[in-house]
Structure 1
Amino acid sequence: MTSTAERYRTYQGPALFSMGFRPFFVLAALWAAIAVPVWVAAFNGWLPAEHFNRDWHAHEMVFGYLSGVIAGFLLTAVPNWTGRLPVTGAPLMGLVTLWCAGRVAMLAPNFALAPVFDASFLFVFALVIAREIIAGRNVRNIPVLALLCVLATANVLSHLRPFDPDLALLGERIGIGVVSMLVALIGGRIVPSFTRNWMAKQRMAPEPVASSRFDAIALGVAAIALSLWAAMPTHFATGLMLTLAGVLHLARLARWQGWRTHAEPLVLVLHVGYLWLCLGLLLSGLAILPLGVVPAASGLHALTAGAFGVMTLAVMTRASLGHTGQPLTATPRISAIYWLVNLGAALRVASPLLPDMYAPMLAASAFAWSGAFVWFVAVYAPLLLRRRVTISR
């Protein structure tokens, strides 16, 4: 029987379609680099604001960009989880084409079939992942499949805005909640694991604390808090649970000892990405509680621009190196990606706190955040489009 590694080695087609992360990471990064400036241009009146509005922006970040990154990650990870053969060649090309069709359709104002093109990708992709996980009897990752199915359903709800705006907003919040849980669930595996591996090579002790019942409690509280936020985004109980979830996940992050990895940005950035998740939960909770000190937009963008942006780039940069045989270390060019995305996130979170500076801070945030993805493509596209390339320092 052909192994996953052998399937990759014997693949003779275009390098771009030899592994799932290659096309999806490049295209998703390109889309992030394009979509945010498009929205900022519409915000400033340079493009039709009636189409490229806040709703379009939110949808394309959650169900456009993130669906592409999730696809690239899972198509690469699931064969390792299940031992089954990877999706390569024509089937992978079909999935990529379907994702691209959704993005093009969402660019067209008043295109009636845009929801069909867009929503179909996540459902088809969920079926692919379901086949692999079920056939591989990979029970541990059933929760990942379940979250993917919920994300696909949430995307459908987000397209119902012309009929029921509240239902569309519910779909958007569910989507953000699902991605937050994916960051907490998968991040809770890879962050301490990669940290432990790096510390072992450096002969550093003690290593990060092993997963325990505390991690399960933190995940459970986050799931409850995000579910409440999706259903009752301004309720006092929601604020309390989000705040508690933020505190618990800060404690969880501290157990992984990320501050000791400062010598290797490729590892440290994973901890920074998870820190943004903690801050997003905490700030979102404080925004609901009757203290009046945190704008809701700050908590929301700590999750989206911060946790989602930083963690996805952290995973994309590391996975692209590891799966193409490159050294697992961040060059100065790679570190620049991390500086840009974190700067963009910080400016976006801070901008609601300074109303008089909101417009210039928004523009600066978009420039830095999108610039991180432009730079990712510039640095990584040569590696992902060809079979073997060494990234210069």
Structure 2
Amino acid sequence: MTGSTAAPFTADDYRARMERAVREAADAGLAGLLVAPGPDLAWLTGYAPPAATERLTLLVLVADRDPVLVVPALEAPDAAHAAGASAVTLRDWTDGKDPYALTAGLLGVSGRFGISDNAWAMHLLGLQSALPGTSYASLTEALPMLRAVKDPAELELLAAAGAAADATFEEIRNVRFGGRRECDVARDLAGLLRRFGHSQVDFTIVASGPNGASPHHEAGDRVIARGDMVVLDFGGLKDGYGSDTSRTVHVGEPTGEEREVHDLVREAQEAGFRAVRPGVPCQDVDRAARAVVAGAGYGEYFIHRTGHGIGVTTHEPPYVVEGEEQPLVPGMCFSVEPGVYLPGRFGVRIEDIVTVTEEGGRRLNNTTREMLIVE
């Protein structure tokens, strides 16, 4: 969240989120939640300190107790200015004092607590030493759907981020690809994302020719040539919420096989989107997209899940993958991004962010999914 613009949420919004988190923790059999710096803390309080610090910062959420944010004394002034600060009690500690004893006193009981996935091991071990009767579960394991269902304000921010990514694609499709390095086009993508309002660029994949067969290829010095298929996958954070979209373009006229594979992926992406509706298990969206690819004989070349959730991070629950039986709920947002990757030759991926509505699904990316010819 570093450098992102604060979303327009109030102390009441953050208070409601914390109350819901406590209820969901109780329903999951947890005595409470311990939230370290990172996306969960930012979502629950509006406070986004650096995650890379050895000093303990922890939001303590326990039923029938007011939320408490334990912070180093030198960070307390910034914490006090967070949007949700009035919804929490600040307890600061100074260097030389024991923050684990302080936190243990706030928990009040032994039991099983949910803790942020990204909490430092030394902090977890310090808490276990201070309260030997406690045990811990990662928040993603214990409460995977905590941030999954977005409220109307969050959906508006995600739609704006998606529109900014679309505007980026509409510009990049007009630049010259042939004769330039992948990293040059990636630099163009990053600049356009920032131009259209992104404060943080998380990734700019430009995978040309045989590099397109590697789904997470890092843009490098390969010179893009005429006849190359080029996978573009880019996104980041705008006003604190994520964008993520993929389109595959071709430099000059494609071969018949290249058109066939692109059309197949487009059909699979449409099938995945059409499967989105309330109550449907996440895995059914994956199955719908994968069936199209497998039916055409390319099943072994679709080598990743069909999608991932998105919100204050670009990858979060729910995950659209075989075995995920979580039913879709209105307000969930996730990618639908099937792909076909032919080793040593080329790849194709088409990706939209989709939100679940009462009637089905709504795309948050709306650029053409047809094959585009670029120079």
Would you say same fold, with TM above 0.5?
no
- Higher strand proportion (structure 1 or 2): 2
Q: Which has the larger radius of gyration?
A: 2
The normalised TM-score by structure 1 is 0.22
- Higher helix proportion (structure 1 or 2): 1
